[in-house]
Amino acid sequence: MTGRGPGPDGIALEARGLRKAFGGVQAVDGCSFAVPRGKICGLIGPNGSGKTTTFNLLTGLAQPDEGQVLHDGVDIAGLRPHLVFRRGITRTFQITRVFREMTVLENMLSVIGLAVPDRVARERAEELIALVKLGHLRGEYGGRLSYGQQKLLEFARALMTDPEVILLDEPAAGVNRTLLQHLLEQIHRLQEAGKTILIVEHDMNVIMNHCERIFVMDYGVKIAEGAPAEIQADDRVIEAYFGRRRRTGAVHAA
């Protein structure tokens, strides 16, 4: 792998002036933010504000019309997804991409680019399955898992290659309270191990209680950035969530 190593400024991943349109829809409209290395950050915003598209731009699933994606100071915008992945950046999906006709264990082993012997991969898969408490379902087909279980499986699968940067798109959706608590502990453990984590999430308790820094998007641009307390008190953020348009979801954690 090339291009690894510490960035010049403690920034793991940076979006610079990203723009992406789909037909007449400007999904991302000049979005910039920098994710500090080794931190848990949140990316929030009302439905349709461009969060998932931003994740797609960061991970090579969509090509930006304009702008840069800097990883360790190198522009990786437009790089194919598997090459982004090879740089140690991995993600989960809002709509899970679990293989329905594969078992939980097979899903884990389906990760490409695992540069370890089969036996080691298998051991790692078993460990990670246990970590997300899906051990009892290791032989179950992906298609038979609940949505929440699929989210946990994707999270576990994302860890197979020991990535440096982990992007999670709504990891808490459909996950029950107990498992969510467990998932959050795992996310903190990853951080303690030096990983960088960026979370898109509608559950404001998750965002406000677990992210050090939060980026807020609306209409494809970043409208605010700061610590949880700053974000909760930010007029533009409150306006985006409660103003002009009728929305679901509140910005305040319970």
Ligand X SMILES: Nc1ncnc2c1ncn2[C@@H]1O[C@H](COP(=O)(O)OP(=O)(O)O)[C@@H](O)[C@H]1O
Residues that bind Mg ion (CB under 5 A): 51-52, 94
Least distance between ligand X and beta carbon 62 (Å): 8
Q: Which does 191 bind (CB under 5 to 8 A by kind): ligand X, Mg ion, none?
A: none
Q: By C-beta, is 47 or 181 nearer to ligand X?
A: 47
Least distance between Mg ion and beta carbon 154 (Å): 15
HSE, CB side, 13 Å, CA atoms: give it for residue 146: 9
Q: Which does 48 bind (CB under 5 to 8 A by kind): Mg ion, ligand X, none?
A: ligand X
Q: Which residues contact 135 (CB under 8 A, 6 or more apart)?
A: 126, 129
CA 142 to chain centre: 21
Q: By C-beta, is 28 or 152 nearer to Mg ion?
A: 28
What are φ and ψ of residue 80, in 5° steps?
-60, 150
Q: Which residues bind ligand X (CB under 6 A)?
A: 22, 25, 27, 45, 47-53
Q: By C-beta, is 160 or 224 nearer to ligand X?
A: 224
The structure tokens 């940076």 sit at 14
Burial class (CB in 10 A: 0-12, 13-18, 19+), 54: buried
Q: Which does 27 bind (CB under 5 to 8 A by kind): Mg ion, ligand X, none?
A: ligand X
Least distance between ligand X and beta carbon 13 (Å): 17
Q: By C-beta, is 56 or 150 nearer to ligand X?
A: 56
Least distance between ligand X and beta carbon 128 (Å): 26
What is the rounded CA–CA span in Å between residue 157 and residue 149? 12
Q: How far is CA 149 from CA 23, 96, 101, 108, 176, in A?
A: 35, 10, 15, 13, 9
Q: Which does 210 bind (CB under 5 to 8 A by kind): ligand X, Mg ion, none?
A: none
Please identify the residue of the shown chain whose CB is closest to the bound Mg ion: 52
The structure tokens 């090339």 sit at 2
CA 184 to chain centre: 13
Least distance between Mg ion and beta carbon 237 (Å): 18
Q: By C-beta, is 44 or 165 nearer to Mg ion?
A: 44
Least distance between Mg ion and beta carbon 173 (Å): 10
What is the rounded CA–CA span in Å between residue 95 and residue 130? 23
What is the rounded CA–CA span in Å between residue 14 and residue 54? 11
Bridge partners, residue 11, by sequence: 36
Q: By C-beta, is 52 or 161 nearer to ligand X?
A: 52
Q: By C-beta, is 52 or 90 nearer to Mg ion?
A: 52
Least distance between ligand X and beta carbon 45 (Å): 5
Q: Which does 226 bind (CB under 5 to 8 A by kind): Mg ion, ligand X, none?
A: none
